[in-house]
Amino acid sequence: MEHTVPLDFVIPPVSTALKSALHTKINQKTKPLGALGQLETLALQIGLCHNSLTPCLTKPSILIFAGDHGVVAAGVSAYPQTVTAQMVANFLAGGAAISVFAKQHGLKLLIVDAGVNADLEPHPQLVNAKIGMGTQNFLTQPAMNSADCLQAIQTGANLVAQQYATGCNCIGFGEMGIGNTSSAALLMHTLTGLPLAQCVGRGTGLDDEQLAHKIAVLQQALEKNGGRGKLYKPQQTLSGFVGGRASPHPTALQALATFGGFEIAMMVGAYLQASEHGMIILVDGFIASSALLVASCLYPAVLDYCVFSHVSNEQGHQALLHHFNATALLNLNLRLGEGSGIALAYPLLQSAVLFLNEMASFAEAGVDSK
């Protein structure tokens, strides 16, 4: 593998110095103890992430990473690859679900061309960060080489750094890429050890016969690449990634290059950079969570900064949330992707911050606390 620049993020666990003070502030609000349920947990997390008793969400943003996948040629999706570029155009025209929801809630929306297999017309909301015209078909070769994989990770990180520089401290990541549930399923299987069949879902709406074919294709891809036990030995080091130094989790980088997508790799870098900056990170559905799985294998503390917006109806997402020991804010049977769950959940973060900052305490309201 090629020699490349090492990953070099610094992601400390969230400080708990204010935990007691935040608990006291929450408990003194004019309500019975725990009466605001999950909103109280959310307010505590936001306060800890921002290391503040009066946190504020500023310039919230969603980045949608789009990329194509070579494995689509094996018939793993109900839709043709051309739909990726067509949906990007729909995002930019304001016609997609995420476009509508982001506008509704005042969320900045940017679309990132990570590797769409088409030449896209310039647009104010479009970021041209194309690594290639889609990944390779991982039935015949790794989806990407190590250099392209690390370039994608670094590009995602750079894009988040740019948003942070504008004052953004709350961000979420969506995706668009026909075939990317196949990549997500293989990443999940490889990095959690859960049975492949438990990780593979219907994606764009496969029927039973198409789903069986998809599972067979992904099993073939595993066998082609040596299977989990052979290719992904924990003691393996990869000089192509990390510049000859031992990776925190070389398995995760190898799996990402072998089975991932450019948009997934960019999300990995985006998660890592956002957590390094102490930003609140809203996590979307299955594909976005598979990217977070890779990121958390590399730097486990990234999970401290993550708010899980919803549990997807896609097979495997509930198991991924269980793997993260996470509780999602919403369960709406969504399986759209695009960051749609992020936009829908964002008002709950606003409510958590508002009650923490503006709701009266018993003493302020002159209400007896007992």
* Closest C-alpha among 356, 168, 355 to residue 278: 168
Query: C-alpha angle 256/273/345, rounded to 5°?
Result: 90
Backbone phi and psi for residue 141, each to the nearest 5 degrees, phi listed first = -165, 165
Which residue(s) pair with 248 in the sheet?
none
Long-range contacts of 223-226 (CB under 8 A, 24+ apart): 224/138, 224/139, 224/140, 225/138, 225/142, 225/258, 225/259
Assess whether 338 carries a catalytic annotation: yes
Q: Cα 283 to the chain's mean position, in Å?
A: 5
Q: Cα 104 to the chain's mean position, in Å?
A: 22
CA gap 115, 111 in Å, rounded: 12
Backbone phi and psi for residue 306, each to the nearest 5 degrees, phi listed first = -100, 135
Beta-strand pair 306-308/280-283 = parallel
Query: C-alpha angle 121/103/68, rounded to 5°?
Result: 40
Contact in structure between 183 and 264 (CB atoms under 8 Å): yes
Amino acid making up residue 90: N
CA gap 355, 281 in Å, rounded: 20
Residues across the chain: 370
Among 223, 338, 358, 364, which one carries the catalytic annotation?
A: 338
Which residue(s) pair with 65 in the sheet?
112, 175
CA gap 268, 9 in Å, rounded: 12
CA gap 176, 224 in Å, rounded: 26
Q: Which residue has the tokens 């993020």?
A: 9
* Closest C-alpha among 4, 39, 6 to residue 345: 39
Active-site residue set: 338
